[in-house]
Amino acid sequence: MGNKKSFGCFMYALFSMIMLISVTIVSVLVANETLKSGWIYTIVIPILLWFCISAIISKKQQAKLPMIQSNAILVEKTQDNHRSGSTYFLTFDLEDGGRKTFKVELNQFAEVEKNEKGLLKYKQMNKKREHYLSYLFVEFEKEQ
């Protein structure tokens, strides 16, 4: 797994370096008035490619993470409203006594009610710190 992770980091670093070099070249050409038209494409296309490639790498890394399952009870539903929209959180008490909070989408938030019991499935993305962004909510299967 170490080699695959290093390869992903290497590709991310390589593409970031290519972006930096591209922007530097365009800046020099624009400053020298060598490049007057079409320079926007030289900047926009690498930026779009960078976002696409980093999203693909991130999704692949998330897909490879092991699935963690635990019996849990939903103890809290939280909705944070702000100008650009809302953010939704679900907090579960796990059978081992732990508590996990997940950032979820609206449809996942609406499907469950407080105090429901079931099987929680999630992935842990960052083992170094305990934070809601360290966990990826996958599914909550309610008990029948």
When pLDDT is cut at 50, 70 and 90, the band that residue 21 belongs to is confident
Check whether 59 has a pLDDT greater than 60.
Answer: yes
The predicted structure's pLDDT at residue 92? 95
Question: What is the pTM assigned to this prediction?
Answer: 0.62
The domain locations on the chain are: 2-64, 68-142
The CATH number of the structural domain formed by 68-142 is 2.40.50.660
* Residue-by-residue DSSP string for the chain: -HHHHHHHHHHHHHHHHHHHHHHHHHHHHHHTTS--SSHHHHHHHHHHHHHHHHHHHHHHHHHHSPPEEEEEEEEEEEEEEETTEEEEEEEEEETTS-EEEEEE-HHHHHH--TT-EEEEEEEES-TTS-SGGGEEEEEEEE--
